[in-house]
A and B are shown apart, each in its own frame.
Chain A
Amino acid sequence: MDQQNELSAHSSLALIESMINKAQNQFSENGTLYLVWGWVVSICSLGQYLLLKLNMTNFKQSGFIWLMTIPVMIYQIFFLIQKKKTEKVKTYTDEIIGYVWMTFGICMGLFSYIMAMLQIWNLFYPFIFLFYGIPTFLSGAIMRFKPLMVGGIICWVLSLVSVQIHSIEVILLLIPAVLFGWIIPGYLLRARFKSA
């Protein structure tokens, strides 16, 4: 009887372990939003830099190029609604990551408003990189996905670098920030999702 219970205990624990692993290896992140936002931010920052460099607009007017992010926000809403409709499982990981990015979105919105009100533009880029690094690093830590953690650290390094740059070239730092923070991890997440 004891022998039977022991065997049963072993097989029960093995079953529990295998099922928990199956639930943990459920990758719902396919990197789409990282890629979309990464490319849009890259295009907007390069566009804004070129507009200023070629003296086509003043600084305030060049900022209108960022209106390109509005269609992306609309796409994101539809994308997330669609994802919610088709997902078969809701994990705590996805939920926490969702809140992390929601916090980032709210902070970016508030920060942009505060900067526009106070007109302290020399603080703008260091803080943008600082903010970019937070959800990127945390998402990587929660998902146990090192490329995102490295991307977050690179954003923080760029935050320090941006303090030293006092010309419009600081805008170009957004490109390595999103390249290492979102684009490269986005493609790696996509590859992981496809192979899962």
Chain B
Amino acid sequence: MFKELDPILHSQLRLAVMSLLIGVKEADFTFIREKTNSTAGNLSVQVQKLKDAGYIDVVKQFKDNYPQTTCKVTPEGILAFENYVKALQEYLKVGN
């Protein structure tokens, strides 16, 4: 009857990361950490899970001798996010 909520997205920090990235072209790891109020360790694990699911692209490079990690949502990530929001709306419709 209900669409299953995507377990990759149905987690607070991963959903926060995806919601942040969906509205921008790309974002630095430190930017995501500041906006989500998360720790570097936890964020790193969740970013890796999103990357493994193919929802985001992660580019690690050096900028002025400092390591920099940039994250960007993929087309698969956008589709998954849209489906997740649609599934949420289904739940809310039934709830109302």
Cβ contact within 8 Å between B91 and A5: yes
Take A13-B88, A16-B15, A20-B22 as given contacts and tell me if A6 and B27 are in contact as well, using a CB distance cutoff of 8 Å: no
Q: Is A19 an interface residue (CB 8 A)?
A: yes
- Pick from B10, B15, B22, B26: contact of A90, CB below 8 A: B26
B24 touches A88 (CB 8 A): no
Is B10 a contact partner of A88 (Cβ separation < 8 A)? no
> Does A16 lie within 8 Å of B85, measured CB to CB?
yes
Contact of B30 (CB < 8 Å), options: A15, A23, A88, A95? A88
Q: Tell which of A20, A22, A89 has the most Cβ of chain B within 10 Å.
A: A89
Distance A23 CA – B91 CA, assembled complex (angstroms)? 26
| Complex-state Cα separation, A20 to B19, whole angstroms | 6
Q: List 16 A-B contacts (CB under 8 A).
A: A8-B91, A12-B10, A15-B12, A15-B16, A16-B15, A19-B16, A19-B35, A20-B20, A22-B20, A23-B23, A85-B64, A88-B27, A89-B27, A89-B28, A90-B25, A90-B27
| A64 contacts partner chain B, Cβ-Cβ < 8 Å | no
Q: Which residues of A contact B67 (CB under 8 A)?
A: none
Q: Mark B5-16, 1 if CB is under 8 A from A, else 0.
A: 100001010011
Determine the chain A residues whose CB is within 8 A of the CB of B85 once the complex forms: 13, 16
Against B, the Cβ 8 Å flags (1 = close, 0 = not) of A9-51 are 1101101101110111010000000000000000000000000
Chain A count of residues within 8 A CB distance of the other chain: 24
| SS of A interface (majority) | helix
Bits for B71-96, please: 1 = Cβ < 8 Å to A, else 0: 00000000000000100100110110
Besides A9-B88, A18-B19, A91-B25, 14 more A-B contacts (Cβ < 8 Å) are A5-B5, A6-B92, A6-B94, A8-B5, A8-B10, A13-B88, A15-B12, A16-B85, A20-B22, A88-B28, A89-B26, A90-B26, A90-B27, A95-B25
* B residues less than 8 Å from A10 (CB atoms): 92
Task: Name the one of B10, B22, B24, B88 contacting A26, with C-beta atoms under 8 angstroms.
Answer: B24
Smallest CB–CB gap between A86 and chain B, Å? 9
Residue of A nearest to B88 (CB): A9
Interface residues of B in 14-59 (CB under 8 A from A): 15-16, 19-20, 22-28, 30-31, 35-36
Please tell me if the beta carbons of A89 and B19 are within 8 angstroms of each other in the complex. Answer: no
Q: Which of A6, A8, A15, A24 is B23 in contact with, Cβ under 8 Å? A: A24
